[in-house]
Structure 1
Amino acid sequence: MPTASTGWFETARFGMFVHFGLYSLAARHEWVRSRETMSQEAYDRYLDRFEPDLFDARELARAAREAGMRYAVLTAKHHDGFCLYDSALTSYTSQRAVGRDLVREFVEAMRAEGLRVGLYYSLLDWQHPDFTVDEHHPLRGTPAADEPRDMARYRTYLHGQVRELLTGYGPIDLLFFDFTYPGKGPEEWGAAELLSMVRAVQPDILVNDRLGIPGDYVTPEQYQPDRPLERDGAPVVWEACHTLNGSWGYDRDNHAYKDPALLVRMLVESVACGGNLLLNVGPTGRGALDPRARGTLEAIGAWLALHERSVRGAGPSGLQAPPHTLCTRAGRRLYLHLLAWPLSHLHLPGLAGRVRYAQLLHDGSEIRFHEVDGAEHEHVNMAPPGQPAGTLTLTLPVARPDVLLPVIELELTEEE
């Protein structure tokens, strides 16, 4: 069961994931070393050339805030074992490579912009000599796979590094572990002991579910739930994590970017089902956001600037959403996100007598409506043909509003 409050997390609803590391120089996916079964020597050509001169955490924090995000998560260490912070337990760090603690820069910049701070830590480590070679390891199928390795020593290293992150940078709001799989599970990670230590050091931190034991929230990846998530019949806090183009790390030749309108829809889908969206950016090898990523964030931010209250602090409506809509709710405000723009009228069964006022959210323009009561009497105009008693009918403009996803705000007569 969760032991920390998830209130801020469920209010925020939208966060930024940042994948940056040596793989960003390869520019062909963060798993490049495993995919191409690179030796450590071959991979270290990126270490020799690592110079993140355009990594500006303050600019990244501003971009996140202006996009409407309210928390951000940085890859402090990914599967390749390279640390973006000054670890006393290894020399394989950005501090040793270029004299910069990028985690510290990130944490300070996010706090300065009023954002909650999260850190990602990979449970895997392909550089550590005691991390056993498995099906994901770059050295699979080589003589190194038969060398003796000691996971107990690696486990001590893992716990020590997590303690460094939680004691060296002040309060951390969220810890994103990654990941558990067959052959590498809670026993290998010392998951129960690790989570106990995390709770002792930072009692208010939220921890995800990827240690292989229950955490504070669950993390569907590259998958969009279409209903609230449950465990043993009880609702759980969740966050869908998604990429812009299918790659977490910078992937120069991958142009399969999701359209900003689709990403806005995914954000609203998450909120309508009681979840969050963690949207990833992968800075270039020099540390900058590429123009496509920056443009996408700006487009989402422009939509959220007008529609924030349909997402921030909102959640499931508890109502059956009409066809081609997504429905969220915050108190007495019901928000209909229109996936398809209807011709002139939108019929809402069951809402007659329950709505005090209706407007388009982006410009605050009134939407007129009429309704059919339980006795099938119409109010204002004729009853809509074929609609049941209790139907509320909105009269919409013919022209679709020029926003990524139009939203109608309904003020209910009472909070239910």
Structure 2
Amino acid sequence: MTIAARQLENSASDRHAWFSQDRLGMFIHWGLYALGARHEWLKNREELSDEHYQRYFDNFDPDLYDPKEWARRARLAGMKYVVVTTKHHEGFCLWDSKVTDYKATNTPCGKDLLTPLVEAFRAEGLKIGFYYSLLDWHHPDFPIDVHHPLRNHPDAEALNADRKIANYAAYMREQVRELLTGFGRVDIIWFDFSYPGRKYHGLLGKGRADWESERLIELVRELQPEIIVNNRLDLPPGELPDVTTPEQYTPRVAPAIASQGVLWEACHTFSGSWGYHRDEDTWKSPEQIIQLLIDSVALGGNLLMNVGPTGRGTLDARAIDALQVYQNWMAVNGRSIYGAGPSELPVPAGCRYTQRGNRLYLHVYNWPYRHVHIEGLADRIAYAQFLHDASEVRWFSHARDVDSNIGVMVPEGMIMLELPVRRPDVIVPVIEIVLKA
């Protein structure tokens, strides 16, 4: 690595240090699809024409919208940043964009919805991220392709004849310019997504040549030099993204590009849909949503957890309950997450480690009967306690006979933690192990 490249890498690391410290963010998917209430891809899935989809635009009026309440709940849940869909694949914009009429200010709502959201989340101390879809099923110059609602239209190829992707790429740059100049500092821009290899009935997928990704990211860097940009622009090989974003998937090993570790963030939903879905019933259990967070941090990553507000601008009861799960758990276990990362120690079965300095955090997924055996800590433990209530956890080493009456001995090289028979009333109990200096 050249000196210049190393300096650039170190500079990026310094700029993005907050990201690995904060660990948990809120994703918000909100648009016209909230009125359909059956998945944010409903226009695609049901192959709806613009004329049919117009009913949602004509009736969009989130009269109960209170971004201060969203922001308050995010903060209480322990979330430190937000990423909101300024424009999803449907092409609808939450802000008063000057280059389209397809925006919130032209609906019955009649107002910019993005500005008050940014102000509300900033007021609660959260950093701001903008999601921006590279797809746009409403724009007249966006060519029909495998993901477009008109992909099976008998005249799809003929309809594409007059569509000019270069015009659309220029449109995107103007909208990104608006987003990155009209709302103060933006900490993350989350582009979504590229699919250059996907062909369908002769219709080509789209990637960096279509988006003019190099020009787009050059503009982003010019307007907001400190911003974090995700990995979905299909940039040329060798150009590492600021952050890699596995979706609805938790890696078993930390992501890497060309054997080089990268900043990463898993994004997940509480249910099976990103947008509001009235009848969707695969909501994750409290254990699952806590473990998603721990699993990410244990591998050095972040978690971006999604809510899909309703068409009236509220968070539905199921989402509020899920946020409450994070609120309760993070209130007592947050220091095992914020600023923590992976440990090099071998982790006991049914557990996960995170570590921050000389504090090692053992997250116990599968509650054992009385004991957990751990290795690699002989003569290294100064103290151990449950994190939720600071109650001591006793530990024994090979040199100490636990109970001579029944002949219990700790295997050589191991440490044994003695736990209560019944699991504490915590979704995932955490044991904080203080290591000797």
| TM-score, length of structure 2 as denominator length | 0.91
Q: 2:74 aligns with which of 64, 87, 95?
A: 64
Q: Distance in 2 between matches of 1:366 and 1:329?
A: 19
**Are 1:265 and 2:291 counterparts?**
yes
| Mapping 1:7-406, distance limit 5 Å | 7-97=17-107, 98-142=109-153, 143-147=155-159, 148-182=162-196, 183-213=205-235, 214-372=240-398, 377-378=399-400, 387-406=410-429
Decide whether the 8 Å contact of 1:347 with 1:394 is kept in 2. yes
SS of 2:150's equivalent in the other structure is coil
Contact 1:79 1:125 in 2 (8 A): yes
CA distance in 1, matches of 2:381, 2:69: 43
Q: CA-atom RMSD, angstroms?
A: 1.5
Give yes or no for contact 2:397–2:410 (8 Å, CA) kept in 1. no
Q: Which runs of 5+ in 2 are unaligned?
A: 1-7, 197-204
CA distance 1:82–1:384, change in 2 (3 Å)? farther
Secondary structure of the residue that 1:315 maps to in structure 2?
A: coil
Divergent runs of 4+, >4 A: 379-387
Q: Secondary structure at the match of 1:211?
A: coil
Following superposition, the deviation at residue 378 of structure 1 comes to 3.0
Is the 2:346–2:375 Cα contact (8 Å) retained in structure 1?
A: no
Query: Does the 8 Å CA contact 2:400/2:409 hold for their aligned counterparts?
Result: no
For the structure 1 residues 379 and 354, does the alpha-carbon distance in structure 2 shift closer, same or farther, using more than 3 Å as the test?
farther
Tell me, yes or no, if the aligned pair for 2:401 and 2:410 is still in contact at 8 Å: no
The farther-off stretch of 6-15 and 93-102 is: 93-102
Counterparts of 1:163 and 1:111, CA distance in 2: 21
Q: Aligned AA for 2:189?
A: L
Kept in 2: contact 1:240–1:278 (CA 8 A): yes
The amino acid across from 1:30 in the alignment is E
Q: Displacement, 1:204? A: 0.5
SS where residue 311 of structure 2 aligns? Answer: coil
1:384–1:393 contact (8 Å) kept in structure 2: no
Return the offset for 1:144: 4.7
User: In 2, distance between residues paired with 1:45 and 1:58?
Assistant: 28
Whether contact under 8 Å (1:370, 1:381) holds in the other structure is no
The count of residues paired between Structure 1 and Structure 2 equals 410
Measure, in 2, the Cα distance between the counterparts of 1:319 and 1:95.
54
Conserved 8 A contact 1:55-1:288: yes
Residue 172 (structure 1) shift:
0.3
C-alpha distance 367-239 of structure 1, shift in aligned 2 (>3 A): same
Does the aligned pair in 2 maintain the 1:139–1:145 contact within 8 Å?
A: no
Partners in 1 of 2:156 and 2:350 — Cα distance? Answer: 55
- By how many angstroms is 1:99 displaced? 2.3
Rounded to whole Å, the distance in 2 between the matches of 1:28 and 1:229 is: 32
Identity of aligned residues (%): 51
Matched position secondary structure for 1:410: strand
Alignment partners' CA distance in 1, 2:16 and 2:253: 19
Q: Distance in 2 between matches of 1:339 and 1:8?
A: 28
Alignment correspondent of 2:4: none
Partner-residue secondary structure (3-state), 1:366: coil
In structure 2, what is the equivalent of residue 412 of structure 1?
435
Residues of 2 paired with 1:364 and 1:212: CA distance?
Answer: 48
State the alpha-carbon separation in 1 of the partners of residues 226 and 376 from structure 2: 42
Give 1:47 deviation, angstroms.
Answer: 0.5
Q: Identify the range of structure 1 (169-178 vs 389-398) with the bigger mean alpha-carbon deviation.
A: 389-398
55-64 vs 224-233, which deviates more? 224-233
Asked if the contact 1:23–1:249 (Cα under 8 Å) also holds between the matched residues in 2, the reply is yes
Deviation per residue, 1:374-412 (Å, 9 max, x gap): xxx337766985754221111111121001100000000
Distance 1:385 1:160 in 2: 71
| CA distances 1:107-147 after superposition (whole Å, capped 9, x unpaired) | 11110000000010000011100000001111122225422
Whole-angstrom CA distance in 1 between matches of 2:339 and 2:401 = 34
Q: 2:429 is matched by which residue type in structure 1?
A: P
Displacement after TM superposition at 1:96 (Å): 2.1
- Contact 2:345/2:376 (<8 A) preserved: no
Counterpart AA for 2:104: S
Equivalent position amino acid for 1:210 in 2 = R
In 2, the alpha carbon distance for the partners of 1:335 and 1:235 equals: 23
